[in-house]
Amino acid sequence: MKNPTTSIRLKDRDAILLSLRAGVVPKVGQHLIQVGRTREIETLLSDIARIADGGSGFRLVVGEYGAGKSFFLNLVSSIALEKKIVVASADLNPDRRLHGSAGQARSLYSELMRRLSTRTRPDGGALPGIIEKFIATSKAEARVTEKTVEEVIHNKLEHLTELVNGYDFAAVINIYCRGAEEGNEQLKADAVRWLRGEFSTKTEAKAALGVRGIVDDTTVYDQLKLMARFVQEAGYAGMIVALDEMVNLYKLSNSQARNGNYEQILRILNDTLQGAAVGLGFILGGTPEFLMDTRRGLYSYPALQGRLAENTFAKDGLVDFTGPVVRLSSLTPEEFYLLLGKIRHVHAGGDQAKYLISDKGIEGFMIHCSKRIGDAYFRTPRTTIKSFADLLALLEQNPGRSWESIVGDVEIAAAAELDGEVPTDNDEDFASFKL
């Protein structure tokens, strides 16, 4: 198995391995361990290009638990950042959803704005920088056109006032610009708070900024459309909203609350498919049940079922990537072999001389996984990846031990537990490595 010889920074190595051992998606270095799913990535790349051209996009990425949805969303987000697209990402939970009546939608919007990312600020917190870039581009344009900065800003923001909540949005941007000109940090901070949806009452917003409106549960999607238009005026190509853990909507016990969220998804879907959301794309990550359950899933909402239904001719190995639903294909055993090899390479810091397990060892580990948990080890690879990273950690900390002996000790410990025996001190080292 060939690997690149470029060394991997210790910081990136540790970040990737710690994330994998915790069963979460690495924030950095996704490209170092990406394998397979070429068609799916190409599909999202076409969406990114369309959004950068002023269009819109909507994709529902569907996969089982542990199949790599979050990794895929993060990878696509990283690619979008490199294409000068702003990315807003968040995980849904009971207190953060697309529709609500007690601040849940505003909470989701606030989280999206806090985690707003650009290529230079990939970890979030990019909103103030985006506004500063808007001011800088406005000043540059003013010098070229021989207009005042105020005139340029007014012209850039004027078309936003035609959208829902657009007048207040434009007013707050102007207030931030005035605060920047005057060196008034409090004014700038209050403007950012408004743009992040952190004002809970209109009275509070009027006292701080003199505007009457605020971002509330009913205007979240409209506010996202405004922000997409604004980042384009600031010099970016567009904006992508990446929402993971959509299954939390499926788990809502109240049918009225579920339907309210599904109505919002329908509105977003209609807008993006019809091109009404300029420079804005959505990528949603969910499970097959969230999509196809006719009692509680998206298919329980007839209008969504009609729009999200698969191509009836896509059978017998035929695939259609032009629809809004992207199903993550299973990794083949060959791709999974490459994936484990890349994890080994990352663990060695990019130095092949420091590999702790051979190619034959990886093959043996996969055979062991196949015998223990069947072919699910590459269809939903999260658990196996975590176990392989744990194995590498033990091999590193226990020189002289082979992977076969460690796996053997695990099986002995598991058998002992089934027999009701007390594990030995040696077994404790391998407690975390159970498939």
Helix (H, G, I), strand (E, B) or coil at 58: strand
Q: Given a cut of 90, is residue 432 above it in pLDDT? A: no
Order across the sheet with 56-62: list the strands: 85-91, 238-244, 280-286, 56-62, 325-327
Helix (H, G, I), strand (E, B) or coil at 254: coil
Q: Given a cut of 90, is residue 293 above it in pLDDT? A: yes
**Domain boundary assignment for the chain:** 37-327, 333-428
d(CA 203, CA 155): 29
Note the pLDDT tens digit of each residue in 198-250: 999 999 999 999 999 999 999 999 999 999 999 999 999 999 999 999 999 99
Exposure class string for 316-331: b at 16+ Cβ within 10 A, else e: eeeeebebbbbbbbbb
User: What is the CB-side half-sphere exposure of residue 61 using CA atoms within 13 A?
Assistant: 27
Note the pLDDT tens digit of each residue in 415-424: 444 444 434 4
Structure confidence at residue 373 as a pLDDT band (50, 70, 90): low
Q: What is the mean pLDDT of the chain?
A: 87
Q: What is the pLDDT of residue 365?
A: 86
Note the pLDDT tens digit of each residue in 314-367: 666 677 778 899 988 777 888 888 999 999 999 999 999 999 999 988 988 888
